[in-house]
Structure 1
């Protein structure tokens, strides 16, 4: 346990530069006194680090010192190789760089860890995009990524669903997010922080103005809050339904015994719920709202008329008809 912590402390100093004992203690989730002991242990082992007192003080490594990644455990190396998404890197123009980085990481690992990492590449493949759709056309992704990296504002022309359908807006690109194979730009602008689908950007112009990301902004935290808010706005209603065991399984509803289960489920709208619940066929009975129940009943009657006796399609599948 302590050996792993010492490696983590060393890598923190290597990657971030000067850090105080308090900052190291917070990162490692230990006491400041433990940090003092760990620093002494590293120094005794010949690691060239030193401490500076005062308000601007802290611990740092001697300039130019780097450690090889021999501190990686087998699980950490496997996770590093599993997390690599070649498609996403290629989209950003970093496919060759990713391949080179993985080769260097592979070469730096001890033999036994390298063997575990190799098995990951042989046995697992990450394919982020979803089914039933072609990949988004994102011709402006590379320019957007460059603006995010350089912290430079851009003027984008954007196509959206509501009127006016096309807008032009100066934004400050804070970060890019890849969600289910689709790229999203998180950017600040005249109306605050907004999220834009990169495939809906129809034009892009640079204004060459540098900007500073607001203090405290965290891309991961923003995205988590954005998704939570999206789900809250998405499911604004609910439906009361009865489900067979198979219907409960398909909707992810806890079953009440082996018979029918009554449950309340969130719905986006009557229109959306109508299509989604019809997919369950006879495994669901809608009890409320009445509007949704009537819509489904009407669709079932129309289907019965189309496929029942005397319907235009009766016997259509009979080769002898």
Structure 2
């Protein structure tokens, strides 16, 4: 079913490209737009995940760089019945995360340094479980291709500005067609983002809670991430708004309302759904996630922020001989 939805999305994007091409250059413009769309569809399938990671300056992390996060993701992936995804870190103070990849075998999860510095270990685990739920549901293919093509649609609108003054083109609607392309294309890019059903976030919340074993960990994480996203700008996301729907919380400023044009459900509604789930869900196993500091409490512990806090690390490890770098980079 996920591949069928992907095919429908790609067909819609192709039709949109052709329509804008027709408005800009008539039938010849439509043919050129179709060829461009076909090439981008193929390119996006294989490379959209890499492009999105580059857009946000994500750096692949190895186990020796972020052992706690690596162990956590490995444990959660095993719980979800998934292969171990690649782990990426984004040097960004805004707490946030996303998943990408065309299938579970080529998946990646990315977390910002702000997420690791702000959240407790339980909350980080819940966020990673949410992202793995997107991988398990095959949402990441649609999300990454949408991010790439939605940005391309916006770029196509810019072509209308340059070609609109050419009186020799075959645009049957003239300057009105150019104006339509310039106005409709950005709106269409926004509609494409909304086409990624917001119910996917609810489904990923529910499955993520099952993977990590405690809905309240994710509820607490969502509240902290939403608060951080409202206060801390994400410059890379602002420059690439077509990728906003990929994050667990909308990284763009001024987009917190649960209205027709929002790419995410209202955070309070998501938290309420998780609280309701917690009332019907059996407690996590007695062992929790061994080695990550996770337990089966109903709410996150009040440890230092993030699994990288100095006090938390000093409680479990002997002091190091030299100065250590702060965060998962050291």
- Kindly indicate whether structure 1 or structure 2 has the higher relative contact order, using CA contacts under 8 Å at least 6 residues apart: 2
Q: Which has the higher helix share?
A: 2
Structure number with larger C-alpha Rg: 1
Same fold (TM over 0.5): no
Q: Which has the higher strand share?
A: 1
How does the TM-score come out when normalised to structure 2?
Answer: 0.24
